[in-house]
Structure 1
Amino acid sequence: MDEQSQRNFSAEEKQLLEEILAHRRDVRGNRFLKTPISQEAIDTIIEAALAAPSVGFSQPWEFVIIRNQKTKQAVKQTFSEETARAASQFADEKQQEYIRLKLEGILESPINMAVFYKPKEGPVLGQTSMPNMGKYSVVCAIQNMWLMARSLNIGMGWVSILDPEKVKQVLKAPKENQLIGYLCFGYTDMFYNQPELELKKWDRKKLQEEVVIEEKYK
């Protein structure tokens, strides 16, 4: 196949992709195993990120792989601080539910990864009117990693209850870099058949007819 050829996919391949999409899960610390992740698997996950679309082919991402427990402990500290602050924003029963939830696996997962947006100097094709497109490109890379990890039967959790500036300090990240995702990777003792927060009735899954608008808003 030359570089101009178009790759077509079979119905079976399409179905497999649907299954991977349907079974992707946000994995928490109470599900991670200590089983090491091979370098080959890590490289495969990173390659999936590098295949993501990016505005103006800017590829504005950088990935920090974290294995050291002291570094993880420092990141966990900001999670604990932010969790206490966040809990106060929920009332009564929801607050108690929030406190009971295990919302991360920073220490339990073998691999942590901080994903940064690194702005380019000068204008970027396609980003001049919508400056956040570069950050959205990094989110696409994260989604690619999530799906590839799931295809390898490796769990991934995205930890968002963090102070990004404190994480940057821990990792000595350049001033211009912006933290987009802090991820935990590891094999797991199980993948839920439904999202955990759906199972625990934190919220319900929206139906297609609730979120699709034809032509324009009324």
Structure 2
Amino acid sequence: MSQNTVKGYSDADKAAIQRVIAERRDMRHFTSDPVDTDVLQRIFTAAHHAPSVGLMQPWRFMRITDSALREQIAGLVEEERQQTADQLGERKNDFLKLKVEGIRDSGELVVAALPDGREKHVFGRRTLPEMDLASLSCAIQNMWLVARSEGIGMGWVSLFDPDKLAQLLRMPEGSKPVAVLCIGHVPEFYQQPMLVQENWAEERPLDEFLFENYWPQSTDQTNDKT
């Protein structure tokens, strides 16, 4: 084996990797400028390079290029936004003030989904069938990081009824939409996660989530403080 195959990256490369991870943001504000075709291809290629359990590659991506269909998706998201607000009690009005999607604004709209027939993939999923979702999530994270490195914003929208969206997109039985991804140019990237900037939630430090050997007996540090 060549020594180069096990050698780490340069300090500059490592710094760039850490920077793009730290500066990735879940974006909600976009301009309507189109995304360059080559850039979009690199984003999808990054998704396809993601790890997957049993090499099942359970990712499917649908570009939404029909404006009427995009508007229908926006309608489904708005419907769920209102229902989510109704479940938030005293925080309802604060939630409704948040911009939770950029579906009508982003240059590209993509639906990320799991395919039908996933039950035949047993390798790595016999006791953890949700590993197909974990694999798709890795693909989406790859997209996010490459998009950020290209100066392109991406937002993951999960406020929708998956059955209604699957029906709208004529997806086969057994498949499942997981994310509506808004991808496009942005006026600027948020300095902090948007929910932090909007005083909706606070980030918590790593040491609250890092355990050794056993789960801590006290649950105080894992309680939801938001």
TM-score by structure 2 length?
0.90
After superposition, residues 9-48 of structure 1 pair within 5 angstroms as 9-28=9-28, 31-48=29-46
Q: Is the 8 A contact 1:48 1:144 kept in 2?
A: yes
Return 5+ residue gaps in structure 2 as ranges: 218-226
Structure 1 residue 106: deviation in Å? 0.7
Higher mean C-alpha displacement, 130-139 vs 164-173: 164-173
Q: Is the 8 A contact 1:55 1:124 kept in 2?
A: no
Q: Is the 8 A contact 2:54 2:121 kept in 1?
A: no
Q: What SS does the aligned partner of 1:75 have? A: helix
The whole-number CA distance in structure 1 between the counterparts of 2:82 and 2:99 is 13
Q: What SS does the aligned partner of 1:185 have? A: strand
The whole-number CA distance in structure 1 between the counterparts of 2:114 and 2:68 is 24
The equivalent residue for 2:70 is 72
| Aligned residue-pair number | 214
Letter in 1 for 2:101: E
The whole-number CA distance in structure 1 between the counterparts of 2:204 and 2:105 is 31
The equivalent residue for 1:187 is 185
Letter in 1 for 2:110: M
Letter in 2 for 1:137: S
Structure 1 residue 5: deviation in Å? 3.5
Letter in 2 for 1:54: S
Structure 1 residue 62: deviation in Å? 0.8
* Distance change (3 Å), C-alpha of 1:123 and 1:102: closer
Structure 1 residue 210: deviation in Å? 1.1
Structure 1 residue 194: deviation in Å? 0.6
Q: What SS does the aligned partner of 2:135 have? A: helix
Q: Is the 8 A contact 2:154 2:182 kept in 1?
A: yes
Q: Is the 8 A contact 1:154 1:188 kept in 2?
A: yes
Letter in 2 for 1:78: L
Q: Is the 8 A contact 2:30 2:184 kept in 1?
A: yes
The Cα RMSD (Å) is 1.6
Corresponding residue to 2:128 among 127, 130, 136: 130
* Distance change (3 Å), C-alpha of 1:88 and 1:120: closer
Structure 1 residue 121: deviation in Å? 5.3
The equivalent residue for 1:139 is 137
* Distance change (3 Å), C-alpha of 1:123 and 1:110: closer
The whole-number CA distance in structure 2 between the counterparts of 1:86 and 1:59 is 32
Return 5+ residue gaps in structure 1 as ranges: none
TM-score by structure 1 length?
0.93
The whole-number CA distance in structure 2 between the counterparts of 1:34 and 1:41 is 16
After superposition, residues 78-157 of structure 1 pair within 5 angstroms as 78-92=76-90, 94-118=91-115, 119-120=117-118, 122-157=120-155
The whole-number CA distance in structure 2 between the counterparts of 1:35 and 1:100 is 25
Corresponding residue to 1:165 among 160, 163, 166: 163
Structure 1 residue 55: deviation in Å? 0.1
The equivalent residue for 1:213 is 211
The whole-number CA distance in structure 2 between the counterparts of 1:66 and 1:6 is 41
Q: What SS does the aligned partner of 1:158 have? A: strand
Higher mean C-alpha displacement, 49-58 vs 177-186: 177-186
Q: Is the 8 A contact 1:78 1:162 kept in 2?
A: yes
The whole-number CA distance in structure 1 between the counterparts of 2:113 and 2:8 is 33
The equivalent residue for 2:223 is none
